[in-house]
């Protein structure tokens, strides 16, 4: 919750502009385009870069996302890369989506949804689809294998083989009803040896459940469960 509601969190997202080598007028910041793999911006008056007033700026893509940014008032602009696409993301710490946010409903905790599984090792790079229609390459250690409701489940994990936690994007039969339509996220904990702990009570909504400007990943077919996972966060209202 703290990450979501932080002044720089996902609830502050208010814009996303995909760029090309053709200069593009963006009303809130100026003119932006791609040149030799970098974002070039001719800025409107009143913007700063890393706290210093500037009228133009170059944003590289070789640093951590959001480390370099242009700002004006409560708004922040920085470069993002998703597969072959490059864009400018806009955040506003005073966005109504953030300042008006109250809470997220959750299912009552239920130990029946704290499951034990095992890691089926299959280290490889996999293409992960997203809500914006572009896939990114992500590292996968293999699959989480477990049983629930008499069903054997085998779900693709994201992360490095030696990680102590893995990232799981999943959907289930409750999607679009009591839970968010596209997917939910779960941090899978590593136990002893190849054992895994999947506590679906800790399932959370993706950023795209709250804003149209997110670029959330989508679950692969094997991560769509045939039964309802009535645990974790419910669909936002």
Q: DSSP character for 124?
A: E
In b/e form, how buried is each residue of 92-126, taking b as 16+ CB within 10 angstroms? bbebeebeebeebeebeeeeebebebebeeeeeee
The C-alpha torsion from 63 through 65 and 71 to 74, rounded to 10°, is -150
Q: CA gyration radius for the chain?
A: 20
pLDDT averaged over the chain? 95
Bridge pairing between strands 30-35 and 70-72 = unpaired
Ranges 60-69, 95-104, 142-151, 211-220: which has the least confidence: 60-69
Judge whether 153 and 145 are in contact, CB under 8 Å.
yes
Q: How far apart are CA 170 and CA 186, in angstroms?
A: 8
Structure tokens of 174?
A: 């409750």
Mean pLDDT score, 15-22? 96
Q: By percentage, how much of the chain surpasses pLDDT 70? A: 100
Is the pLDDT at 8 greater than 90, yes or no?
Answer: no
DSSP structure string for 30-82? EEEEEETTEEEEEEPTT-EETTEE-SEEEE-SSS-TTSS-EEETTEEEEEEEE
Q: Which pLDDT tens digit goes with each residue over 147-192?
A: 999 999 999 999 999 999 999 999 999 999 999 999 999 999 999 9
pTM of the model: 0.90
Q: How far apart are CA 176 and CA 226, in angstroms?
A: 14
């Amino acid at each position: 919750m703290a990450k979501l509601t932080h002044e720089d969190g996902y609830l502050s997202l208010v814009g996303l502009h995909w760029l090309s080598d053709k200069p593009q007028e963006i009303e809130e910041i100026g003119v932006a385009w791609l040149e030799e793999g970098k974002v070039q911006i001719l800025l409107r008056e009143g913007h700063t870069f890393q706290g210093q007033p500037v009228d133009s700026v170059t944003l590289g893509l070789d640093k951590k996302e959001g480390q370099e940014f242009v700002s004006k008032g409560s708004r922040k602009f920085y470069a993002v890369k998703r597969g072959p696409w490059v864009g400018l993301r806009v955040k506003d710490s005073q966005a109504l989506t953030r300042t008006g946010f109250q809470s997220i409903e959750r299912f009552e905790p239920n130990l029946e949804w704290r499951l034990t599984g095992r890691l089926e090792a299959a280290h490889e790079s996999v293409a992960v689809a997203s809500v914006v229609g572009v896939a990114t390459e992500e590292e996968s250690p293999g699959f989480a294998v477990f049983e629930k409701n008499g069903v054997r489940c085998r779900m693709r994990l994201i992360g490095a083989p030696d990680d102590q936690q893995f990232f799981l994007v999943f959907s289930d039969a409750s999607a679009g009803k009591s839970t968010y339509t596209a997917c939910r996220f779960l941090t899978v904990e590593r136990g002893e040896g190849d054992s895994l702990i999947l506590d679906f009570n800790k399932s959370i909504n993706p950023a795209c459940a709250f804003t149209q400007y997110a670029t959330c990943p989508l679950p692969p077919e094997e991560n769509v469960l045939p039964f309802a996972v009535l645990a974790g966060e419910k669909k936002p209202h």
